[in-house]
Chains A and B, each alone.
Chain A
Amino acid sequence: MEHNSKKMEVEKVKEHKTPLLDELEKGPWPSFVKEMKRAAEKNESAKDLLGQLELSYQDKKGHWKHGGIVGVRGYGGGVIGRYSDCPEQFPNVAEFHTIRVNQPSGWYYNTKALRKICDIWEKRGSGLTNFHGSTGDIILLGTKTDELQPTFDELSDAGFDLGGSGSDLRTPSTCAGPARCEYACFDNLDLCHDLTMTYQDEIHRPMWPYKFKIKISGCPNDCVASIARADLSIIGTWRDSLRIDQEEVKKYAASGMDIKGEVCEPCPTKALEFDEDAGELRLKAEDCVRCMHCINRMPKALRPGVERGATILIGGKATILQSAFLSWVIVPFMKMEPPYQELKDLLERIWEWWDENGKTRERIGELIYRKGMGNFLRAVGLPAVPQMVYQPRANPYIFWQPDEVKKK
């Protein structure tokens, strides 16, 4: 009997012929089509997803309807509703919603936790996932409206909560950090977890003009691309001099590394000099901009300094509406130690000003652009410092505050 039912399922998979997608099972790179077929062996929605994707490949267009608002009790975000535009043909993806599950800091897992998620999703959804979505969440890809609440109940019993979506604080994410990386300038994994827990309400209940993303990188290599992908980018740095182990420098030189050409020459400020006779690397610490290049090249010999913290930048976003922005400096150096009160106070002042002044769907970067950095800095109580700009303005169109000029 069991054997028969399995055979029937296999036959149903064949209901949708997928000659175009089958091409993508070939080649050396792991195939997502193979993954979809694996899920389809056990799940009707995964089967219909394959069918609908094959149709998209034929038609060269997507077959998902516009939008759809669904969710779980008590939350306003975390679930992305999705409906097929050809539900008669593919009834099992008529409803095919995504659930965002908040990942542990740095995407570290034990297999017990991962297996638990697999068991829940096997029962409640399509069996397809993304490890991970671009913001960092685990994506459970495709389930029906009726399954949302039970899935959430079981996830929460297993110790997992939903991540963000919509006009809320999105799930913060961070790099591998001090758990695995010698470059980490503070405990970015702890900070990510702390901010996530502190601002659970802001994550789960959208209340702002638009989305707000926080990403945290332990050093300026920025391995989570925070400067490009987060409204608030927290990037580890140090205030003193990087540390040099001259013995290790000599070993790199002895191994045949062209220290002058590979390490010193690309230094953006020419702060490093290699004395070939002495086999010594000399640093003008005051010229170093902490770009990480030399440390990246000689990790055994060079390390970040000891007076560590982070640079805080704001405004990073993708194209819509006023072109892409990279985050820019608002605090050159801030200590990063629990309970991170200085950072939290700043975040809350920023959110308050944005909530008060932002237009619908206006990102913080666009609001600052519209209102001017001067107004932003005054509103959140930050001093203007030269680290905020590449260069001062070239035009004289300067706004003065009433209290800065003599009254008549």
Chain B
Amino acid sequence: MSRTDIGPPDFREMLPPVIKENYGKWKYHEIVKPGVLKHVSESGAELYSVRVGSPRLVSIDFIREICDLADEFCDGYLRFTSRHNVEFLVSKKENVEPLLDALKEKGLPVGGTGNSLSNMIHTQGWIHCHTPATDASGIVKAVMDDLYEHFVNMDLPAKLRISLACCLNMCGAVHCSDIAILGIHRTPPRIDHERLPKVCEIPTVIASCPTAAIKPDPKRKSVKVNEERCMYCGNCYTMCPAMEIIDAENDGIAILVGGKVSNARTAPAFSRLAIPYLPNNPPRWPEVTEAVRNIVEVWAANAKKGERVGEWIQRIGWENFFKLTGIPFTDKHIDDFIFSVPTFRTTTNFKW
């Protein structure tokens, strides 16, 4: 019989001696080169962290491989970052270069620090979820291949955070990313009236609709959907398996831009719609990678040093964002949800 409620292992058991000795006493850090951080403590002790990109979906053999490296170069200690990178915690300076060589040999990319593109936060997609409008791992691989140079170099105006969510549950911080890739549906749910009364709790389904498009259908002991009010969020399908929303022909990708979570310079901000729809085109999603690259290139060419995507757009104005990127502005970009009013321009201040 297993022990319950023991919680996670105490992180203190997982720290290398150099960290235990200098815990809370770090004085400053510097980025030695892309992917390599040096932390210096009050006592003069040094810790090097080598950051490595990971596909996040990894086999146990991958984990064992990085354990071998950590045993060889880091006294058996490593960590993961909040963007799914691996960080080797090196307490001996002379081990840094040999570790970098070993990583190069294994084809693992070192980078993701400073003004670079770090790893993409992403979700399960077709690998393990039942509500996705697109895949996660495949698009991440395609986009990271395409923008690889920006992971291993710090050649961008500021940090670039690209995230992906395979449906608008937005697991992860997709709604607050510099560039967000979001799976969307474009057709209303298809109701299986035979099955619905057997598997769904109708009041919960009705309450799950953000636009109140779902009404009871007492005759059939089922529900009706007012299709004019439905914007295909799929939340009713989350609640009720008899309301199939997935539609391979019409599902696809929306791209949002300009979000951030840090408080540096400007307040945290939501990402906002740039491209309402791009098709799912596995295995390489060329329309998506091209659209993302275009936004990255236009931003990199026009932003001031230190200006993140959203800050750049705030300075030049959305009218210029659409002009410079060549992305068409459509009625889809104008918010018509319940919190739309604060997005309307309530001033004559704007740019031509």
Contacts and interface: CB of A to CB of B under 8 A. Distances in A.
Interface in A349-392: 359-361
B148 A28 contact: yes
A111 B76 contact: yes
A157 B306 CA distance: 48
Interface stretch (A125-133, A275-283, A336-344, A396-404): A125-133
B141 interface: yes
A153 interface: yes
A293 interface: yes
Contacts of A153: 1-2
A267 B266 CA distance: 9
16 contacts: A20-B283, A29-B144, A30-B53, A60-B282, A75-B4, A104-B8, A115-B67, A129-B58, A131-B63, A142-B128, A181-B39, A220-B263, A227-B268, A296-B264, A318-B175, A361-B204
B241 A66 contact: yes
A318 B171 contact: yes
Contacts of A187: 24
B61 interface: yes
B7 interface: yes
Given A32-B141, A180-B19, A361 B207 contact: yes
A62 B261 contact: no
B24 A222 contact: no
A161 B10 contact: no
Contact of A266 (B24, B67, B81, B265): B265
A107 interface: yes
A35 B62 contact: yes
A134 B121 contact: yes
A13 interface: no
A229 interface: yes
A122 B61 CA distance: 9
A129 B5 CA distance: 23
Q: Which of B80, B141, B339 has the most CB of A within 10 A?
A: B141
A200 to B, nearest CB: 4
Contact of B5 (A159, A176, A189, A201): A201
Contacts of A66: 130, 237, 241
A401 to B, nearest CB: 27
Contacts, number: 351
A107 B66 CA distance: 14
B67 A29 contact: no
Given A109-B14, A127-B59, A152 B283 contact: no
Given A184-B24, A227-B268, A113 B14 contact: yes
Interface string B96-129: 0000000000011100000000000101011111
A159 B129 CA distance: 29
A118 B64 contact: yes
B130 A318 contact: no
B109 to A, nearest CB: 7
Contact of B130 (A49, A64, A161, A268): A64
A173 B53 CA distance: 21
B3 interface: yes
Contact of A179 (B13, B19, B283, B305): B19
Interface in B205-250: 207-208, 210, 233, 235, 237-238, 241, 246-249
B135 A57 contact: yes
Contact of A323 (B125, B237, B338): B338
Interface string A183-209: 010010100010011001100100000
B154 interface: no
Contact of B28 (A61, A182, A197): A182
Contacts of B347: none
A281 B148 CA distance: 38
Contact of A65 (B14, B125, B130, B249): B130
Given A118-B64, A361-B204, A67 B55 contact: no
Given A27-B141, A228-B175, A110 B128 contact: no
A320 interface: yes
A157 B26 CA distance: 35
Interface in B34-77: 39, 47, 49, 53-64, 67, 70-71, 76-77
A98 B123 CA distance: 13
